[in-house]
């Protein structure tokens, strides 16, 4: 049996986007990152399920039942929540193909929800993946809302670099957003 090992002397073409190169999507990468944090007992953060009302189920066989028709019961609040360093954490995950994030891609009720979390002393932010440049940023809900209330329609990457925190992308975890959370909220870095 012949095994073809990579030759380190041959330069490999860099991949444009780590999520596409590994067949991962942003949300899956966040889920893997959260599982990594849970396994290390660093944080307990989960994706929130969207509540649905099942209307019709097809039963060709008992073991092969499938939902044919369902409706959202209520609008979902945000994507993820949990606890980190003794504080409640809640955030919405978004991705864009542009070099700016348009406010039309986030619901007003989601921003209100995050604002309420912030008012109660929790950690509330938006995490955004800019596909075009393969960068992820988190931005606290306060400056995010301030820009929204100023009537601006979108936030440019350069503004995220100024008021947000860039998130390190890698292998384990794929999206190390808690290090960025430490810098943004606890003014420290974690030793990994």
> For the chain, which domains are there?
18-186 (3.40.1350.10)
- Which two structure tokens, joined as six digits, stand for 134? 């393969």
Mean pLDDT of the region 8-37:
67
Mean pLDDT (the chain, rounded): 84
- What's the confidence (pLDDT) of residue 14? 44
Q: Flag whether pLDDT at 18 surpasses 60.
A: no
**Integer angstrom CA distances of residue 104 from 3, 62, 94, 163, 172:** 50, 42, 11, 20, 32
């Amino acid at each position: 049996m012949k095994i073809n090992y990579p030759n380190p002397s041959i330069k490999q073409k860099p991949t444009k986007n780590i999520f596409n190169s590994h067949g991962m999507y942003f949300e899956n990468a966040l889920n893997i990152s959260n599982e990594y944090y849970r396994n290390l007992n660093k944080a307990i953060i989960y994706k929130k399920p969207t509540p649905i009302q099942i209307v019709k189920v097809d039963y060709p066989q008992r073991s092969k039942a499938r939902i044919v028709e369902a409706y959202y019961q209520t609008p979902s609040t945000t994507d993820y929540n949990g606890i980190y360093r003794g504080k409640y954490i809640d955030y919405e995950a978004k991705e864009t193909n542009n070099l700016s994030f348009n406010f039309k891609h986030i619901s007003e009720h989601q921003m209100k929800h995050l604002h309420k979390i912030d008012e109660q002393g929790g950690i509330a932010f938006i995490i955004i993946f800019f596909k075009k440049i393969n960068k992820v940023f988190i931005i606290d809900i306060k400056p995010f809302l301030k820009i929204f209330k100023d009537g601006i329609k979108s936030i440019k990457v350069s503004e995220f670099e100024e008021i947000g925190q860039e998130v390190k992308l890698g292998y384990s975890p794929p999206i190390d957003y808690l290090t960025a959370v430490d810098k943004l909220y606890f003014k420290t870095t974690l030793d990994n």
